[in-house]
């Protein structure tokens, strides 16, 4: 297994560790959901490795974890919406995602349909939600963007989800003729994921609570 995949798993743990260190057990709601999202990805990645070495076929894990990752991502983004109506709209999409994914998996050939259509579409939905949140909050913002947690986290999310929109389609198109290209695409996505997790980690830090000092300064 390429070293970059282990590096990506290590980078994935940084937002969780940083959130616990900075915010303890009571992080702001969106950052709390970000930590849950990272925990899901970490669990999925570790299970992928274990199942691959013990059973061989680990593709079925993505049927469970991928929709859950998108659901948690939307819950996080809902917390950053500037109005209750928008937040409600993000949450209303969640049951549609779960029901739609279940129907597709029940009535089609799971692996091929999921990899070619469901995964890219779910990733595209998360990417659109992320870009909408980033652009909308940017337009409404009156402060320095680099001082906001949502700015860095949404940047990291954008980098992350782009890879899951394009790489599965690239895989399907070129795996039989240019397998080396496909391998390079997956390794590149793993490295860009490392960058995405670093951006999210900085988002955890940029609005950390001010320490309360006692005594003489």
Local confidence pLDDT in tens for the 217 residues of the chain: 568 778 888 899 999 999 999 888 888 999 999 999 999 999 998 888 888 788 777 778 888 899 999 999 999 999 999 999 999 999 999 999 999 988 888 887 766 778 778 888 999 999 999 999 999 999 999 889 999 999 999 999 999 999 888 887 787 777 778 888 888 888 888 899 999 999 999 999 887 765 433 333 3
pLDDT at 43: 93
pLDDT at 209: 63
3 state DSSP class of 188: helix
C-alpha count within 13 angstroms, C-beta hemisphere, residue 189: 19
- Structure tokens belonging to residue 191: 């490295």
Question: Alpha-carbon distance 137 to 148, whole Å?
Answer: 10
Question: Alpha-carbon distance 101 to 28, whole Å?
Answer: 30
Quick check: 56 and 98 in contact, CB under 8 A? no
Could you tell me the pTM of the whole model? 0.89
Which residue intervals of the chain are DSSP H helices? Answer: 3-23, 29-54, 60-79, 84-107, 110-113, 119-140, 149-174, 179-206
Which of left, alpha, beta for 54 (phi over 0: left; psi -120 to 50: alpha)? Answer: alpha
Supply φ then ψ for residue 28, to 5 degrees: -55, 150
Closest to 66 (Cα-Cα) out of 134, 161, 132, 170: 161
Residues sharing a CB contact under 8 Å with residue 7, sequence separation 6 or more, in sequence order: 190, 194
Quick check: 160 and 196 in contact, CB under 8 A? yes
pLDDT at 4: 78
């Amino acid at each position: 297994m390429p070293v970059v995949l282990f590096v990506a798993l290590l980078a994935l743990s940084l937002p969780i560790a940083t959130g616990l260190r900075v915010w303890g057990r009571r992080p702001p709601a969106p950052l709390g959901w970000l930590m849950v999202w990272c925990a899901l990805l970490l669990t999925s990645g570790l299970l992928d490795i274990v199942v691959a070495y013990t059973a061989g076929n680990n593709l079925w894990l993505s049927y469970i974890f991928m929709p859950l990752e998108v659901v948690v991502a939307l819950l996080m983004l809902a917390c950053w919406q500037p109005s209750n109506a928008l937040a409600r709209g993000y949450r209303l999409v969640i049951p549609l995602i779960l029901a739609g994914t279940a129907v597709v998996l029940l009535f089609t050939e799971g692996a091929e349909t999921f990899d070619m259509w469901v995964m890219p579409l779910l990733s595209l939905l998360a990417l659109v939600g992320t870009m909408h949140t980033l652009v909308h909050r940017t337009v409404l913002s009156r402060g320095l963007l680099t001082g906001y947690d949502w700015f860095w986290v949404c940047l990291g999310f954008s980098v992350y989800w782009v890879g899951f929109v394009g790489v599965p389609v690239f895989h399907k198109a070129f795996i039989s003729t240019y397998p080396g290209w496909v391998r390079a695409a997956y390794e590149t996505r793993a490295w860009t994921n490392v960058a995405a997790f670093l951006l999210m980690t900085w988002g955890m830090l940029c609005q950390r609570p001010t320490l309360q000092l006692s005594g003489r300064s």
